[in-house]
Chains A and B, each alone.
Chain A
Amino acid sequence: MIIETKTSQAIQSNTPTIMTANNVDVFYGKKQAICNVSLNIPENQITALIGPSGCGKSTFLRCFNRMNDTINICRVSGEIKFSGQNIYDPKVDVVALRSRIGMVFQKANPFPKSIFENVAYGPRIHGLAESKDELESIVIRSLKRAGLYDEVSDRLSEPGTSLSGGQQQRLCIARAIAVDPQVILMDEPCSALDPIATAIMGYCKSDRS
């Protein structure tokens, strides 16, 4: 499946671009999945990729935080820049990169731990919280921004997998927000959400600045 490059002139904006993709090709083994895509992504805005099922949206998205590295046969060529640096440069630490560019996956994948632990994991491994109270406030703030806090405020210690599909998806979003990344890649994050929840999501995104 090949994305036809429609120049991203559609995104008329004055805000500076945070990510750019230049002539990106992605191969799975010998099969080419993405052919010569270039795209500018402005900062502090929502940029949506739209296309028919199986056209390579997810593959393209996964290039932006190098999640495709985990797939053995996948090869990416071209250039993707994150605030001026080529993220496929050998000097780039992929772990540091992913803490700047978070990702929410198509299928909700909470850790089989408590709701609190799910959100707290990111800040914990990156040392974002000095104290237990600070960690707690990060968790609560993230859950609020994902529009989930009111539903789970009294059962933060219950397993994240006990939530409904849509709640799990929002939990994953809260988890991604908690690390405070510059960019969040969302792979159809609203596929499991009802329209109202989606509206809340839109709000939360515009809330980011």
Chain B
Amino acid sequence: MPNYILSTSRQMAKRHAREKRFKWYGRIAIFISIAFLVFMFSAIIFRGASAFQQTKISLDINFSESILDPSSSRDPDLLKRANYKPIVVESLLSVIPEVTERRDRNRLYKLLSTGAVFDLSEKVADDPSILGKSKKVWLLASSEVDLFMKGKIDPNVSEDLRRLKDRDIEWIEILKSEGRIKKKFNKTLFTNGDSREPEMAGILGAAIGSFFSLLVCFLIAFPLGILTAVYLEEYAKKNFITDFIEVNINNLAAVPSIVFGLLGLSIFLNFFHLPRSTPLVGGIVLALMTLPTIIIASRSILRSIPQSIRDAALGLGASKTQTTFHHVVPLAMPGMLTGTILGMARALGETAPLLMIGMVAFIVDIPKGVTDVATSLPVQIFLWADSPEKGFVERTSAAIMVLLAFLILMNICAVYLRKRLERRW
């Protein structure tokens, strides 16, 4: 009987070692990329987590009718324009009575955000029956107070180097001892548009601007991209024209996004006179940018559908269009959707082309449609990161977190859609 060697020979040992080594290379590569990711996320969360809380001060406000509505008209417009400062100062003084000088009163009033009186006026205009009564109200604290409460201002630093003076801190301690100053969930961040005051600034305007831009982008890019891909892949004869088109699509995919912004500026704004700074133009520009990505992804998916499926349908006497839309496109759809959503996710994070078409403006109002002036999330992040106010530092990180959350949401959507559509077979 021949003696076959079945135990590990030297050569075999070498082969096994190579395999093991390669596995470890892969593990190390994955570990490094995960480490970077964890580092990035923890840096953002560490900086931005505090932005989800906002310091508020509770005061017993006496809604004096003689100050707010001397003529007893109950007209909401008049009520909104009334002077709320006296009643706020009055209630502040009831908590901290030792302040007598006019200058100090003003300082005391500055503990509150300038937005606090807007909140009050809204409240009164909505419900005028509150007039003449006294009520406990939580009011926005100023950004400096907020930063102090979050431990981001060191009281041991020389007084000249900080805006919050020792007296302010004394007052804050008094408010604290009475339980009148608290950190609460920062609803403002999710319900407001942009503002010059960090404590009043929110991302809702930018998020809705992004949403409208992406909506326009999707409505244009998806049908155009899919139809182009299907035509080029299933119908077009391969000749030098289709080759030329293919080369150009590949080139367009590599064009820097800012160039699409310039294109939008010169064509859509200067030639067609579409409204400046609007999600409509932003969406069109993003669609142009996303189109090549969608076309390339869809074509490669269509190419991966086996020819045998087409043969099967054609052999049964299905027409070209029936074959394509009954069999090939449904099979390719999950992949095409994934490609589209990935392209859209890139569009969501895109800043440069939007700068070119004026979506970088300071916009307080929340857009109501695609033709309202708006900004977008990444542009908002860019604007806040650029702002000298210290309170915007944490808000920038918070906005990044929200943007990332949207991106993750979109990717989950892509995975979910793919799974769902695949299960249908």
A residues in contact (CB < 8 Å) with B: 65, 67, 70, 72, 95-100, 102-105, 107, 109-113, 121-122, 125-126, 159, 161, 172, 175-176, 179
Contacts and interface: CB of A to CB of B under 8 A. Distances in A.
Given A105-B311, A105-B312, A107-B308, A112 B425 contact: yes
Contacts of B312: 105, 109-111, 172, 175
20 contacts: A65-B315, A70-B311, A70-B314, A72-B237, A96-B317, A98-B314, A99-B316, A100-B317, A111-B313, A111-B327, A112-B331, A121-B313, A121-B316, A121-B318, A125-B317, A125-B326, A161-B425, A175-B316, A179-B316, A179-B317
B311 A95 contact: no
Interface in B300-324: 306-319, 322
A98 B316 contact: yes
Contacts of A70: 307, 310-311, 314
Interface of B: 237-238, 306-319, 322, 326-327, 331, 425
A17 to B, nearest CB: 22
Contacts of A159: 425
Contacts of A172: 312
Contacts of B331: 112
A65 B318 CA distance: 13
B308 A109 contact: yes
A113 B308 contact: no
Nearest to A160: B425
B318 A95 contact: yes
A104 B315 CA distance: 8
Given A111-B327, A112-B331, A121-B326, A98 B315 contact: yes
Nearest to A112: B425
B424 to A, nearest CB: 9
A156 to B, nearest CB: 15
B319 A95 contact: yes
Contacts of A109: 306, 308-309, 311-312
Contacts of B310: 70
Indicate the member of A100, A161, A172 with the most B CB atoms within 10 Å: A172
